[in-house]
Structure 1
Amino acid sequence: MATPVMEKSDQAPEPGFADSPYITVTFRVRRFNPEVAAEATWEDFQLEIDPKERVLDALHKIKWELDGSLTFRRSCAHGICGSDAMRINGKNRLACKTLIKDLSPEKPITVEPIKGLTVLKDLVVDMEPFFQAYRDVMPFLITKDTNEPTRERLQTAEDRERFDDTTKCILCAACTSSCPVFWNDGQYFGPAAIVNAHRFIFDSRDEAGEQRLEILNDRDGVWRCRTTFNCTDACPRGIEVTKAIAEVKRALITRRF
């Protein structure tokens, strides 16, 4: 009896080829090393990678397998620490939350540091000006009672809802470094600092709202905002940043908060 022959179209694909989930993706990374050159350059890396992976996974692959000198920040890798904010295809994003398949991977994917802050090396920027603005708005609960409370400071669900949105900030600087005003004037407090001031200004348990409002009433404060909505678009946590800034402006005018 003749041995049956499987038609080519019916044959199972060879492992590692037609059934492979991997595609070839080019990552175009902006490189800068002040010990080597004064100017930044672009460098391409080609990877075989699953498009369902994240940009952070690709950066790990580049660093671990192709170029150990590539420098970037990351920590939790789950969109909570905010340390891996960078510009990906021209938009501020968290590398750990950005899937390769969502970036048109048939074209080179560009990766560069966030704008408005001094680049230290490759994708790492100096975050100190950003955190100084954050510290300046006193992002902590302040009460007139100097003694520790003997019971929990209670507030209603409605009071808590008033500032719920701005408690979501993870200090990634994506909003601040997307702001054209911040790009042109590093003295501007920036959206993230205002968001964190908002979180306490509208907290019914806090008693330093007036003080924070006066800090933001400075020439480099809330009035520098031009309402471009870049900050709201850039926030990986979905915070309505521009709305929060508008509410702080309104509180400055009405002194009601």
Structure 2
Amino acid sequence: MRIQMRIRRFNPEADSKPWWGEYWVDVEESDRVLDALHQVKWYQDGTLTLRRSCAHGICGSDAMVINGRNALACKVLMQDVGDVCQVEPLRSMPLIKDLVVDMEPFFAKYRAVLPYLINDDLPAEGERYQSQEDRARYDDTTKCILCAACTTSCPSFWANEDYIGPAAIVQAHRFIFDNRDAAADLRLRVLNDVDGVWRCRTVFNCVQACPREIDVTRAIGEVKLALMNGLED
């Protein structure tokens, strides 16, 4: 099948504003958008710049806007994009070049929620045991791959880039509800802010955008309830 790739291009060293590059590629229905982008870069225009790594939906590197929706280029099949595949960089992120955005502001918010286990008490038997029920409490949010698809799909983030964003809240949720952790109060303090969890307007874009099918809005709601009612034992 022959597909037109319409790619938003921008080189800060040569362009005054973004422009659309149009390329025709021959692909199989089972090929992915990432394969089509490789065809463009490898055989038509080597200046095209994009991020990708594992190509199997695990690393999160190739998140971009595909036909208006946030997705991983390695997960979207060409049979699902129609005759024209329009590709853009993630929204509301500093643009570096073509499909590459600056992820540092995103990761700064990730670091702000202390995304690691904090517990200074030594376990009695050398390990911190956890029941299957306790693990299930936060299992969904362990699946996050930090691709930023959820955060950059959020209208609240588009309107205010100081919003900590769904991804950071998901990462905080993963440790707030981990019964082995002792720093839930610290994370809740970070999120209890006008630009924290309360800026979520429950639009559900984040749920639709997540390539790992995390129920992001539910996780955000559970953090809000923890702030209002306290954590359950």
TM bracket (short chain): over 0.9
Q: Which residue of 2 aligns with 1:72?
A: 50
2:86 to 110, 116, 136: 110
- Could you say if the C-alpha distance between residues 87 and 149 of structure 1 is closer, same or farther in structure 2, counting changes exceeding 3 Å? farther
Q: Which residue of 2 aligns with 1:17?
A: none
Q: Which residue of 1 aligns with 2:192?
A: 217
Q: Which residue of 2 aligns with 1:40?
A: 18
Following superposition, the deviation at residue 209 of structure 1 comes to: 0.6
Unaligned runs of 5+ residues in structure 1 are 1-22
Secondary structure, aligned partner of 2:3: strand
Q: Give runs of aligned pairs for residues 79-228 of structure 1, distance below 5 A.
A: 79-104=57-82, 106=83, 108-145=84-121, 151-228=126-203
CA RMSD of aligned residues (A): 1.1
Q: Which residue of 1 aligns with 2:212?
A: 237
Query: 1:242 and 1:76 mapped to 2: Cα distance?
Result: 27
Per-residue deviation, residues 158-185 of structure 1 (Å, max 9, x unmatched): 0000000000000000000000111121
Query: 2:181 and 2:162 mapped to 1: Cα distance?
Result: 27
Secondary structure, aligned partner of 2:149: coil
Per-residue deviation, residues 201-242 of structure 1 (Å, max 9, x unmatched): 000000101111011002210000000000000000000000
> TM-score scaled to structure 1, two decimals?
0.88
> TM-score scaled to structure 2, two decimals?
0.97
Secondary structure, aligned partner of 1:251: helix
Structure 1 outlier segments of 4+, above 6 Å: none
- Could you say if the C-alpha distance between residues 207 and 51 of structure 1 is closer, same or farther in structure 2, counting changes exceeding 3 Å? same
Following superposition, the deviation at residue 186 of structure 1 comes to: 1.1
Following superposition, the deviation at residue 144 of structure 1 comes to: 3.1
Q: Work out the number of aligned pairs and report it.
A: 232
Unaligned runs of 5+ residues in structure 2 are none
Secondary structure, aligned partner of 2:74: helix
Query: 1:220 and 1:118 mapped to 2: Cα distance?
Result: 19
Query: 2:16 and 2:206 mapped to 1: Cα distance?
Result: 30
Secondary structure, aligned partner of 1:158: helix
Secondary structure, aligned partner of 2:188: helix
Q: Which amino acid letter does the alignment assign opposite residue 188 of structure 2?
A: L
